[in-house]
């Protein structure tokens, strides 16, 4: 058997058949640019997220020193770093980078403050007071239900609007999944106060994350709305595509469990169920992947039958597919290395990473070009592309995030092209 190292599927095809696999032409520079209206919307959304960060930072700074820890200080330091980059990007007009960094600033600052607030309540009145403080966090569920009701009234008329509302539903389903994780933590009955405080702090963190993710879901609709020409949307095709991505996401998580986790289980001498439970407890990405898949029946029930449900299933399936694909790529294809706290410290297969990034970028640009030829205005895919081009120059963690964003840009743009009636292959 002859083994040949290849960088992508095109080299595989060439070596197997002796013929070139047809490629979509790359997008022109102008095709991969945001329209001015979208630029303004993203800038406004970035500023709103930055304002959230400032609010959380102010609240955190108002906490007494004994209610903070090295962990919360580190989280706030990360938020401050992201905020500084967001400001710099805003000044330079790098708007996609500004939005990504402002999002991170708001997320990290919110978690830092909520943990500190939980500790404050615990010191003042014990674990009962800490639990009681979560009542104010439950308001995020009311906010999310209101956002869901707003989404149900949206009737997309263009392909840009279709993908925007679908992705927004997907992000909102992630937010609902986070509140579900918070509820699970609240339902735990630890044997001592230290463990109970940890559970309450985690629940508060999940509620904080859910609120910010829900706001980002609203931003997605705002950013992608009002662009492109009106197009009759084939609702049956939307439903079929949604099911395809749903099955693909389920296949991804099944593959991850039976290949990656099963290997870890055998090495540790434990069952797959034990390894899976440990992964859910200690790895946020995996926990988020599972919850995003599990939350769909709840979302479908709240929406009822109709177009809104079809868009929600498509969005949830797309987001779940991205998260689960990332898991497989990160831990299997790339061989991620992490420290004791689960922070990514390196990649074993760096050459593979370079090849995957190059291929993903090419695919994203080609797909955006195809979407434009189909008469679509791929605002959200271009937004992902711009952000990915920036983050791929950063840390190893940034590069992995860049890969995910390239994939999302490519997937959404290809869907636009397909829904627009384009032929994606010669």
Q: pLDDT of the chain along its 426 residues, tens only?
A: 888 888 888 889 999 999 988 877 665 656 678 888 999 999 999 999 999 999 999 999 999 999 999 999 999 999 999 999 999 999 998 999 999 999 999 999 999 999 999 999 999 999 999 998 888 778 899 999 999 999 999 999 999 999 999 999 999 999 999 999 999 998 888 888 889 999 999 999 999 999 999 999 999 999 999 999 998 888 889 989 999 999 999 999 999 999 989 998 999 999 999 999 888 888 888 888 888 889 989 989 999 888 899 999 999 999 999 999 999 999 999 998 888 777 788 999 999 999 999 999 999 999 999 998 888 999 999 999 999 999 998 899 899 999 999 999 999 999 999 998 876 554
Global pTM reads 0.90
Burial 176-214 (b: 16+ CB within 10 A, else e): bbbbebbeebbeeeeeeeeebbbbbbbbbbbbbbbbbbb
- Enumerate the β-bridge partners of residue 356: none
Distance (Å, rounded) from C-alpha 142 to C-alpha 165? Answer: 20
Distance (Å, rounded) from C-alpha 387 to C-alpha 402? Answer: 7
**Residue with token string 């490519």:** 410
Residues ≥6 apart with Cβ < 8 Å to 65: none
């Amino acid at each position: 058997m002859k083994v040949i190292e290849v960088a992508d599927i095109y080299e595989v095809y060439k070596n197997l058949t002796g013929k070139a696999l047809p490629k979509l032409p790359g997008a022109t520079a102008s095709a991969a640019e945001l329209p001015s209206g979208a630029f303004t919307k993203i800038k406004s959304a970035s500023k709103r997220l930055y304002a959230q960060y400032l609010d959380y930072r102010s609240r955190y700074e108002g906490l007494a020193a004994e209610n903070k820890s090295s962990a919360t200080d580190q989280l706030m330091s990360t938020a401050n770093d992201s905020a500084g980059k967001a400001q710099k990007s805003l000044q330079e007009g790098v708007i996609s980078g500004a939005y990504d960094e402002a999002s991170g600033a708001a997320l990290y600052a919110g978690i830092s403050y909520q943990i500190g607030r939980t500790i404050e309540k615990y010191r003042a009145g014990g674990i009962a007071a800490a639990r009681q403080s979560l009542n104010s966090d439950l308001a995020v569920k009311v906010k999310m239900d209101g956002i869901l009701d707003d989404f149900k009234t949206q009737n997309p008329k263009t392909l840009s609007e279709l993908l925007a509302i679908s992705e927004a539903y997907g992000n909102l389903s992630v937010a609902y999944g986070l509140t579900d994780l918070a509820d699970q933590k609240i339902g735990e009955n630890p044997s001592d106060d230290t463990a109970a405080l940890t559970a309450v702090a985690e629940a508060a963190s999940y509620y904080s994350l859910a609120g910010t993710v829900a706001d980002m879901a609203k931003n997605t609709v705002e950013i992608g709305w009002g662009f492109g020409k009106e197009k009759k949307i084939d609702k049956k095709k939307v439903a079929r595509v949604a099911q395809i991505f749903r099955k693909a996401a389920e296949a991804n998580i099944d593959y991850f469990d039976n290949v990656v986790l099963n290997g870890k289980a055998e090495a540790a001498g434990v069952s797959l169920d034990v390894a899976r439970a440990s992964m859910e407890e200690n790895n946020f990405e995996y926990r988020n992947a599972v919850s995003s898949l599990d939350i769909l029946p709840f979302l479908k029930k709240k929406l009822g039958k109709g177009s809104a449900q079809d868009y929600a299933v498509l969005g949830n399936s797309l987001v779940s597919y991205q998260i689960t694909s990332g898991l497989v790529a990160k831990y299997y294809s790339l061989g991620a290395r992490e420290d004791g706290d689960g922070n990514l410290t390196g990649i074993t297969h760096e050459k593979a990473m370079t090849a995957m990034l190059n291929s993903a970028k090419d695919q994203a640009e080609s797909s955006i070009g195809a979407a434009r030829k189909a008469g679509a205005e791929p605002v959200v895919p271009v937004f992902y592309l711009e952000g990915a081009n920036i983050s791929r120059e950063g840390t190893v963690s940034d590069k992995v995030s860049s890969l995910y964003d390239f994939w999302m840009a490519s997937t959404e743009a290809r869907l636009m092209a397909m829904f627009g009636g384009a032929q994606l292959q010669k």
